[in-house]
Chains A and B, each alone.
Chain A
Amino acid sequence: MTFERRLTRDWDDPSVVAVDGYVAKGGYGGLKKALEMDTGELIDVVKASGLRGRGGAGFPTGMKWSFVPQDTGKPTYVTVNFDESEPGTCNNRELGERDPHRLIEGTAIAARAINCHTAFIYVRGEYLWQGTVMERAVREAYASGYLGKGIAGSAYDLDIVVHRGAGAYICGEETALLNSLEGLRGQPRLRPPFPAVEGLYASPTVINNVETLMNVPDIVFKGAEWFREMGTEKSPGTKMFTVSGKVERPGNYEIPMGTPFRTLLEEYAGGVLAGGTVKAFTPGGSSTPLLTGADLDLALDYESVAAAGSLLGTGAIMVLDQTDCVVEAARRMVEFYAHESCGKCTPCREGSWWATRVLTRLENGYGRQEDMGLMQDMGKNILFRAFCALADGAASVINSSLKHFAEEYEEHVRLGYCPLTGAPADRTPAAAEEVAS
């Protein structure tokens, strides 16, 4: 498939990492244009483009900006969510690393749109190098007049602060991110008030994902119509996908929204590893319900994935092949949520902890017949019951793996060991079968 790459177009050119190289390729043109527009116009362009938040929820970006009241007497803030932590996701990492000034430009335009004079880039703690790249780029932008007093020759002032997280998945949740940024415990806040009204330091705040903001300079520079030339009506533009797992060429790929999964898998990721078959995959990271090999022709856009019973999420596609055990995969994913649960609310803290233990038992061959019903209940009792969406990730794994692979679970119980990874050393398959029958 051929198309004009947008977000990744300069990935082959390391010179854009430096401000001069970026400017030489037309960088900061969007910002200059934005500074000549009034804020209403600016928001309208982004609205018209149909750009939707790439962090997972797909909320229209222009609308988000328009919710920020500008007459409260308080400052407004833009906060960039660079706390990319969803398992299987690493496109923000590469975007920031290879093209940091595009992020700064997008951030500056967003700031201009809501009259913000201090923006924060919250970088995931583990992204040591990417944080350093961002810090260097921000320093360069200051030195070149794209940040600080009177940015890009205008009368508009903007400071950007790069802040590093300390290693908690929950801080990717926007209100927990704000708490963390304020020096509080990384736990989500009650909504309402929503961040647009009362966010960082109780002031109106916009929180955008890295990929979202990196789309903005071109939208402003080239116009909403240009942006809509690719993608679908409701999911315009291109999207970054991170393909990992049992594929020949794992990596980050940019494709137009609505491209079938089969195209991404076969043309970009080189197909399933060693000619295997797709058993299951996550369309948008470990928190999105698993789909199966029957869904290879799924169009990758918000609507189509939702119609198939899952979510586009962060576009992190993890592929399991026929040799992978779904119970073990579910165990590892749920264990991640148990580890990353902030502990604030009961269903998440206790539910993910318990589910991890039951899944471990099942995988190790100590399952009981009633565990099937127990897991089903647990998924139901966690989903949509917790304070924030973190627990829903754990529940999605439980529910979708049970939905598509109930037989595999039952086989674990029946055999007393994992049929894919084999019997534990202390028991022979024959002995276990004897017990099961």
Chain B
Amino acid sequence: MSGDMVTLTIDGKEVTVPKGTLVIRAAEQLGIEIPRFCDHPMLEPAGACRQCYVQIEGQPKLATSCTSTVAPGMVVRTQNTDDTVAEAQVANLEFLLLNHPLDCPICDRGGECPLQDQALEFGPGESRFTEAKRVWPKPLPLSPLVNLDRERCVLCARCTRFCDEISGDRFLELYARGAGERVAIAAGEDFRSPFSGNTVQICPVGALTSTPYRFVARPFDLSTADSVCPHCSAGCNLKVDLRRGEVVRQLARDNLDVNDTWNCDKGRYAFRFPDSPDRVTTPLIRDRGLEPASFGEVVERIAGWCDGKRVAFLTGGRLMDEDYYALSKLARTVMHTNDLDHRRDGGLGVSADALVASGTATATYADVEHAKVIVVAGLDAEQEVPILHLRLRKAAKRGAKIFVVGPRVTRLHDVAAHILIRAGAEGEAFASSQEQGSPLAEVRAALTEVGEGGLVLVGPRLHDGSSAWSAVEFATRSGARWAAVTRRANDRGALVAGVAPTLLPGGRNVQLAEDRAEVEAAWGGPLMGAAAEPGRDWRGILEAAANREIDVLFLIGVDPLRDYPDADLVARALANVPVRVVQSLELGSLEPYADAFLPASAFIEKDGHVTTWEGRSQRIRPVRGGKGISRPDWEIFAIIATTMGGDLGFDRLDELHADMAPLVASRATTTSDVSPARVGPIEPADGELALFTYPLLVDDGRLSERSDELQAALGTEPFLELHPDDAATRGITDGARVTVRTVAGEAELPVRISDGIAQGSAFVPFNQPGFAANTLLRGTWTIAATVTGPDTDDSAEGLASVAVGGESA
């Protein structure tokens, strides 16, 4: 180990650091701050700003500590011990400030600006510059989210290096040279990167500012607290800035194990939902209309409705671990039902689900970064789990070989090999990868070669039960590890807590006596009466509700009319179930249906944990107090239990944690080799296409409400994407409005022709403003569809009758 460590002296103090460390980092180890602008620990050294001069003994010139690597016995003097260095730094700051406008009083960065801070600490105090400053028109909008003020820019190239090295989308570049050099974007281009906000955060001056925060606050107006992003399963650590109790800004917070120091623009800018004017913070009960009532009143009524009745629970994927656990226990011990589900797809199948929920099958960001071969299956990482996308790019930079398997090319196109497979046929492809001529032969060979160094990420497109299982078996056969990647912030936590029809907490199978016994022992009583049957999944629950086989339906943190891939089924279920209890931040589209409403706290008001796709449970502390008389979900569940004469065993969070910890702890399980039922594979008939959909990062979701700049910057109109050959055979040209028909419905959409989609497949985004794709779906995320151009003779084409698998499952 000592061979890899280097000892050097900085300002007379010895420090031992790993070989290859930069002098500026070694100085940080000693608590010595060397001023810097272009240096950023996550970016390659640039040596551009020249602020971090040090004197290295034996070198004729001053060195920049951000580009000098340590050497054994090196003697370094910083501005603290060497006057030449201090003078050089002052001189350099004088140069940097020549053309800086010093408009700090109206600059968003004022008060938290590295240039301002360092000019005060290390700068010359007064300028000897009497000439006219360089001027640029200001500000220049790079996108609806990001503005560029070229006068303030010190040309450190952090933003351009971010675009080049980290996000890889290269929107920003330095243009021209000398004093005319500037950050710019190609004419007519918009900074349409889902990571654009990071450039604002790492800008060492106020050159890049974000529109939502422009002129909103001064740093000393803000109260800041740590949190974790509620949007996707990436689990990015956040800093939340509040002004008078209202969120005005979110920044990425460093966590090298999770998000490094980045986050995506949705996580950064979609922060207004907790303060939405539509938020309801009082309990409501339907009388003549929906009337405000006390928690006590409403819960009494709910208890009365539920007593001895058939109750079912549907949740979204963004509650806390504690909420899911309390719900899991409420359903099993008080309501005596397994009819609860957090999902909206077919999952992995019970065997693989159990492996994931027990913590047996998993991978971390670090595993991704260090894997040698990575198969990204059924996942559009940039759009679905953006920070995972960045980590995949980092892995590629380290030399990992990446394969993306799915129906559509992703933004990993420059670092990964894409194997395009028709939507709905991915599972088949994995299952038959050993056959002659398999498109996955190369992938399998690469995985087999590296054994444990291989990693298969099983993404949402495969979560229809059997496809996921095929991918898992594919990984296992090749000796690779695998992990499931879900989309929403706490899908994983819900699974671990057992908000699933077949699984109890910790991935314990309700059907297995020994698993059930462990839970019964912990909970001190029989579960669900005597029944050990799996409950209904989300689709079963909705169908049962539509068929009047359920009496009370709880809808918790879910927007069913938009979230589930069968709009028609949801509408029938909501219409036919006698009692609908809504527990959420707002009523939204459920307003006509809700019989009772329970106001839940938003994530910034809660104390608890969320679990990343990796299975990492991260603690969140409240950033502010609850709004109105909203309550954390788990508390509401505890109150319901008590009101119904039950007892969840906890009234306080620490009691809940003590109750939960033993059951959700990781434990080793083995698969039960149950091959899941095939749910949803489709075989489009002649002339049909496999229509698939998934939500894009910026869509019409509830949590993006009022984030208008985000929508303007990254949102997109609804569209239908087609392969050029499929378009040609139908006589469809790019931009034409086409009609897409499935057994569930039809829609007219503008077409985008792209060779980045598998032939025979068609893509529509799930939930763009103006079009909800679930009106075309029948319970699966892929469906047979016909697409006809504006000039096609409809009567000749006809609508073939299609058997859609899974519809009756």
Contact stretch, chosen from B176-184, B313-321, B367-375, B462-470: B176-184
Give the nearest-CB partner of B100 in chain A. Answer: A350
Give the residue of B46, B61, B67, B174 whose beta carbon is less than 8 angstroms from that of A185: B174
Interface pair B177/A343, CB less than 8 Å apart: yes
Interface pair A385/B177, CB less than 8 Å apart: no
Q: Quick one: CB contact mask for A338-354 with B, threshold 8 Å, 1 for yes?
A: 11111111110111111
Give the residue of B50, B61, B134, B177 whose beta carbon is less than 8 angstroms from that of A168: B177
A350 to B96, CA, bound (A): 7
Chain B: minimal CB distance from A85 (Å): 14
Chain B: minimal CB distance from A346 (Å): 5
Give the nearest-CB partner of A392 in chain B. Answer: B61
Is A387 at the interface (CB under 8 A from chain B)? yes
Identify which of residues 32-67 in chain B touch chain A, using a CB-to-CB cut-off of 8 Å. Answer: 45-51, 53, 60-62, 67
Is A306 at the interface (CB under 8 A from chain B)? no
Interface pair A340/B178, CB less than 8 Å apart: yes
Chain B: minimal CB distance from A368 (Å): 8
Q: Quick one: CB contact mask for B171-211 with A, threshold 8 Å, 1 for yes?
A: 00110111111000000000000000000000000000000
A12 to B265, CA, bound (A): 68
Chain B: minimal CB distance from A275 (Å): 40
Interface pair B48/A346, CB less than 8 Å apart: yes
Q: Quick one: CB contact mask for A169-187 with B, threshold 8 Å, 1 for yes?
A: 0100000000000000110
Interface pair A346/B50, CB less than 8 Å apart: yes
Q: For residue A168, which residues in chain B have a CB less than 8 angstroms away from its CB? A: 177
A340 to B94, CA, bound (A): 21
Give the nearest-CB partner of A352 in chain B. Answer: B178
Give the residue of B53, B62, B91, B178 whose beta carbon is less than 8 angstroms from that of A343: B178
A345 to B96, CA, bound (A): 10
Q: For residue A384, which residues in chain B have a CB less than 8 angstroms away from its CB? A: 60-62
Is B642 at the interface (CB under 8 A from chain A)? no
Interface pair A385/B47, CB less than 8 Å apart: no
Give the nearest-CB partner of A358 in chain B. Answer: B131
Is B99 at the interface (CB under 8 A from chain A)? yes
Interface pair B48/A385, CB less than 8 Å apart: no
Is B244 at the interface (CB under 8 A from chain A)? no
Q: For residue B53, which residues in chain A have a CB less than 8 angstroms away from its CB? A: 385
Q: For residue B51, which residues in chain A have a CB less than 8 angstroms away from its CB? A: 346
Interface pair B178/A346, CB less than 8 Å apart: no
Give the residue of B47, B134, B157, B179 whose beta carbon is less than 8 angstroms from that of A341: B179
A158 to B464, CA, bound (A): 58
Is B129 at the interface (CB under 8 A from chain A)? yes
Interface pair B92/A385, CB less than 8 Å apart: yes
Interface pair B177/A342, CB less than 8 Å apart: yes
Q: For residue B181, which residues in chain A have a CB less than 8 angstroms away from its CB? A: 342-344, 349
Q: For residue A344, which residues in chain B have a CB less than 8 angstroms away from its CB? A: 46, 48, 155, 157, 181
Is B652 at the interface (CB under 8 A from chain A)? no
Is B95 at the interface (CB under 8 A from chain A)? yes
Is B8 at the interface (CB under 8 A from chain A)? no
Chain A: minimal CB distance from B177 (Å): 5
A246 to B715, CA, bound (A): 66
A298 to B583, CA, bound (A): 92
Q: Quick one: CB contact mask for B465-500 with A, threshold 8 Å, 1 for yes?
A: 000000000000000000000000000000000000
A352 to B178, CA, bound (A): 9
Give the nearest-CB partner of A192 in chain B. Answer: B69
Q: For residue B155, which residues in chain A have a CB less than 8 angstroms away from its CB? A: 343-344, 346, 349
Q: For residue B129, which residues in chain A have a CB less than 8 angstroms away from its CB? A: 354
Give the residue of A340, A342, A354 whose beta carbon is less than 8 angstroms from that of B131: A354
Give the nearest-CB partner of B178 in chain A. Answer: A341
- Are A339 and B178 CB-contacts (below 8 A) given A190-B67, A384-B61? yes
Is A357 at the interface (CB under 8 A from chain B)? yes
Q: For residue A170, which residues in chain B have a CB less than 8 angstroms away from its CB? A: 177
Is A377 at the interface (CB under 8 A from chain B)? yes
A128 to B589, CA, bound (A): 70
Interface pair B95/A381, CB less than 8 Å apart: yes
Is A57 at the interface (CB under 8 A from chain B)? no
Q: For residue A361, which residues in chain B have a CB less than 8 angstroms away from its CB? A: 131
Q: For residue B91, which residues in chain A have a CB less than 8 angstroms away from its CB? A: 347, 377, 380-381, 385
Is A386 at the interface (CB under 8 A from chain B)? yes
Is A374 at the interface (CB under 8 A from chain B)? yes
A384 to B88, CA, bound (A): 11
- Are A353 and B92 CB-contacts (below 8 A) given A190-B47, A344-B48? no
Is B420 at the interface (CB under 8 A from chain A)? no
A361 to B128, CA, bound (A): 14
- Are A346 and B92 CB-contacts (below 8 A) given A354-B131, A384-B61, A387-B48? yes
- Are A357 and B131 CB-contacts (below 8 A) given A338-B178, A343-B180? yes
Give the nearest-CB partner of B155 in chain A. Answer: A343
Give the nearest-CB partner of B157 in chain A. Answer: A344
Give the nearest-CB partner of A185 in chain B. Answer: B174
Total contacts A to B, CB within 8 angstroms?
A: 95
Interface pair A342/B178, CB less than 8 Å apart: yes
Q: Looking at chain B, what size class is its interface with the partner chain?
A: 35 or more
Q: For residue B60, which residues in chain A have a CB less than 8 angstroms away from its CB? A: 384
A343 to B182, CA, bound (A): 9
Q: Quick one: CB contact mask for A383-406 with B, threshold 8 Å, 1 for yes?
A: 011110000000000000000000
Give the residue of B62, B96, B180 whose beta carbon is less than 8 angstroms from that of A346: B96
Q: For residue B94, which residues in chain A have a CB less than 8 angstroms away from its CB? A: 381
Give the nearest-CB partner of B69 in chain A. Answer: A192
Give the nearest-CB partner of B49 in chain A. Answer: A346
Chain A: minimal CB distance from B159 (Å): 15
Q: For residue B48, which residues in chain A have a CB less than 8 angstroms away from its CB? A: 344-346, 387
- Are A338 and B179 CB-contacts (below 8 A) given A357-B131, A385-B88? yes
Q: For residue A346, which residues in chain B have a CB less than 8 angstroms away from its CB? A: 48-51, 92, 95-96, 154-155
Q: For residue A381, which residues in chain B have a CB less than 8 angstroms away from its CB? A: 88, 91-92, 94-95
Is B75 at the interface (CB under 8 A from chain A)? no
- Are A349 and B92 CB-contacts (below 8 A) given A190-B67, A344-B48, A384-B61? no
Chain A: minimal CB distance from B154 (Å): 7
A345 to B37, CA, bound (A): 11
A369 to B788, CA, bound (A): 81
Q: For residue A370, which residues in chain B have a CB less than 8 angstroms away from its CB? A: 128
- Are A353 and B50 CB-contacts (below 8 A) given A346-B92, A346-B95? no
Give the residue of B95, B173, B178 whose beta carbon is less than 8 angstroms from that of A347: B95
A347 to B91, CA, bound (A): 9
Interface pair A374/B128, CB less than 8 Å apart: yes
Q: For residue B179, which residues in chain A have a CB less than 8 angstroms away from its CB? A: 338, 341, 343, 349-350, 353
Is B98 at the interface (CB under 8 A from chain A)? yes
Chain A: minimal CB distance from B97 (Å): 9
Q: For residue B47, which residues in chain A have a CB less than 8 angstroms away from its CB? A: 190, 345, 387
Give the nearest-CB partner of A191 in chain B. Answer: B67
Interface pair B95/A350, CB less than 8 Å apart: yes
Q: For residue B88, which residues in chain A have a CB less than 8 angstroms away from its CB? A: 381, 385
Q: For residue A377, which residues in chain B have a CB less than 8 angstroms away from its CB? A: 91
Interface pair A347/B174, CB less than 8 Å apart: no
A385 to B49, CA, bound (A): 11
Interface pair A351/B95, CB less than 8 Å apart: yes
Interface pair A343/B96, CB less than 8 Å apart: no
- Are A345 and B49 CB-contacts (below 8 A) given A350-B95, A350-B96, A353-B179? yes
Interface pair B177/A350, CB less than 8 Å apart: no
Give the nearest-CB partner of A366 in chain B. Answer: B130
Chain A: minimal CB distance from B353 (Å): 46
Sample of 11 more A-B contacts, CB < 8 Å, known A168-B177, A344-B46, A385-B50:
A190-B45, A340-B177, A342-B181, A344-B155, A344-B157, A346-B48, A349-B178, A350-B96, A381-B88, A381-B92, A384-B61
Closest 9 CB pairs of A and B: A343-B181, A381-B91, A350-B95, A353-B179, A341-B178, A384-B61, A357-B131, A343-B177, A346-B50
Q: What are 24 A-B residue pairs whose CB atoms fall within 8 Å in the complex?
A: A170-B177, A190-B46, A338-B178, A339-B178, A343-B179, A344-B46, A344-B155, A344-B157, A345-B50, A346-B49, A346-B50, A346-B92, A347-B50, A347-B95, A350-B95, A350-B179, A354-B129, A374-B128, A380-B91, A381-B91, A381-B92, A384-B61, A385-B88, A387-B50
